[in-house]
A and B are shown apart, each in its own frame.
Chain A
């Protein structure tokens, strides 16, 4: 029998009607107090070796929790091979980061930028005790930790830090764009006529056919949701002819070692795509216009693993404008600026 993804019935997700709730692991139930602790920790710069970066440095709210860079840069200046992925709707993602099939929980993923050394991102490795001592000494955390983990015998553990950050990330849910109001909210005027024409191009396999990889209400590859079956298959990874995929940036292959997985990367959600430039796993496409040109050419680089879904297509200048207008309509402006997801630390201190 397929495993069912866990529920968290008591937490108020405040989702629009009809959208499923994200799954929550049994070992980390949601609570408002835990989410609030997670928000403070998400923007906590003492988590980095030099106090210069927090999670929020590479995942900036106004950029849909990306950083505007082609390739992420760690706190010591080391550059990552890939760009920071958006955290919008990250709770629904079954396989995290661009191409790691083993990374299936947010709690697990939080340790990667914290402790990873190739490259150094936050650089916490070897400094964990020092960091936790700093939290213990802070009056703000002295208030937040016990509220977030009531009944626990000890506080200020790394396990609690990752659980709180994960809980905060689970609340970053984007479902209130103008397109959502048009498509599910009964408001025919929510998007422009240009965006409506663009929608037809997006959803037509005879034209751009973007929906074939960026599918469903999340405009992404495979998702998970509360009560759904836990997906075991590695679906939603595609080679789209972005590069020649040289080591060590060969995507899914780096984990599976199967030649047919060279160049396969996760199809991320296109929600808020208008604010998450540059694009692709390596940030090699600067604008949405370039992305459309890339796909209109059937992918820039020929590769034996290039997805057969890709095919050249022709769009007029007006068609391209309409398609971009549709993509812009996926921007959830409210969430980009809502203070409930903003940096709670006073500007002078963080």
Chain B
């Protein structure tokens, strides 16, 4: 009887693990199309890489340019990024509540070559642990404070409505 209960418990636990939601990035706020992007979704988008060196240790991050993600969400870019939209920003939030902002203009390749990557892979392997499943990589920032690890949400905020 005990063994049967133990086996049933193990089976239930296994099924529950299989039902755990995949990690995902929420893209919300002042967007035409809110998104929930998993690693599988990002794998189907145009991919890019950024190479970084941190204290002599090199890492090649792979993912999707952040501006591509915003384009998918219908955020104004290029010739459409004008007027009140220029007073908008992206609030990037991590699992622990850490937040940083990027203006829409600095994320738009029509304005500046900033190359901010939404990464899901490092050196060919999925991100994990304190990196989270997703992170930002802002290689042209001098400090690393805006290269948000454990990224969970991108909220577009329109200051002037």
Interface residues, chain A, CB within 8 Å of chain B? 18-20, 182-183, 186, 188, 196, 199-200, 202-207, 215-218, 223, 225-228
A205 surroundings in chain B (CB, below 8 A): 96, 98
What DSSP secondary structure best describes chain B's contact surface?
Answer: loop
- For chain B residues 55-108, which have a beta carbon within 8 Å of chain A? 55-58, 94, 96-98
Is B58 touching A199 in the complex (CB atoms < 8 A)?
A: no
Q: A182-B129, A186-B125, A199-B130 are in contact. Are A218 and B55 (CB under 8 A)?
A: yes
What DSSP secondary structure best describes chain A's contact surface?
Answer: loop
Is A203 touching B130 in the complex (CB atoms < 8 A)?
A: yes
Is B97 touching A206 in the complex (CB atoms < 8 A)?
A: yes
B58 surroundings in chain A (CB, below 8 A): 18
Question: In chain A, what residue has the closest Cβ to B59?
Answer: A18
A-B contact pairs, 14 of them (CB 8 A): A18-B57, A20-B55, A199-B129, A199-B130, A200-B130, A203-B130, A204-B98, A204-B150, A206-B94, A206-B98, A218-B55, A223-B56, A226-B56, A228-B56
Is A204 touching B129 in the complex (CB atoms < 8 A)?
A: no
A223 surroundings in chain B (CB, below 8 A): 55-56
A57 to chain B, nearest CB (A): 31
B150 surroundings in chain A (CB, below 8 A): 200, 204
B89 to chain A, nearest CB (A): 20
B144 to chain A, nearest CB (A): 9
B114 to chain A, nearest CB (A): 23
B56 surroundings in chain A (CB, below 8 A): 19-20, 223, 225-228
A215 surroundings in chain B (CB, below 8 A): 55
Is B54 touching A196 in the complex (CB atoms < 8 A)?
A: no
Is A203 touching B149 in the complex (CB atoms < 8 A)?
A: yes
B129 surroundings in chain A (CB, below 8 A): 182-183, 196, 199-200
Given A200-B129, A217-B55, 8 additional A-B pairs, CB 8 A: A18-B57, A186-B125, A199-B130, A205-B98, A206-B98, A215-B55, A217-B57, A226-B56
B149 surroundings in chain A (CB, below 8 A): 203
